[in-house]
Amino acid sequence: MGVRYFSMDFRTFFDIYMRPRTGRRLKRDGIEFCYAAASLMIACSKSDMEEHPDERETVQDILKQAFSLSEGTVLRMLEFADNASEESYLGEITHLINQQFTPPDKRFILEKLWCVAYADGRIENKEQAFIDRIASEIDMSSEDVDTARILAQHQRT
């Protein structure tokens, strides 16, 4: 078993590192956005009950490339995301996203969820249902979901 970076519970971590301070608006280049996106991507990878190694690798690649994060930061973020991807926490994360992030930020997350779902070469019904549910919870339309899916498909080719 590797080094364990994440030692506090989800709620404590969420309150310290993710919950916006009074009057402060979160941005896509902020660490809060990275944690939220990582949590949803890991939850997506688990949604079909078979977390494929290619899906986890895709999450790591997205975090490194889209956010310019170091390997160590990505590993700590993934440890948090494993904990935060539990069903009981997803509502808090989607609420944060819905309240704090712009429609383009939300579309970015949907696109990355599709990238994770496609990583193993197939889309399972449970993955589709998970993405549709998250889209609904963050007030995104079916058109947004379809556009994000097409963008993710084009990234695979």
CATH architecture group of domain 29-156: Orthogonal Bundle (1.10)
For the residues 76-92, what does the mean pLDDT come to? 77
For the residues 44-64, what does the mean pLDDT come to? 86
Residue whose structure tokens are 């896509």? 28
Give the whole-angstrom CA distance, residue 116 versus residue 127.
9
Instruction: Dump the DSSP string for 53-95.
Output: HHHHHHHHHHHHHHH---HHHHHHHHHHHHHHTSHHHHHHHHH
DSSP 25: P
- Nearest CA to 35 out of 50, 16, 21 is that of 16
pTM over 0.75: yes
Query: Domain boundaries in the chain?
Result: 29-156
| pLDDT of 21 strictly over 80 | no
Which pLDDT score is estimated for 38? Answer: 86
| pLDDT of 133 strictly over 50 | yes
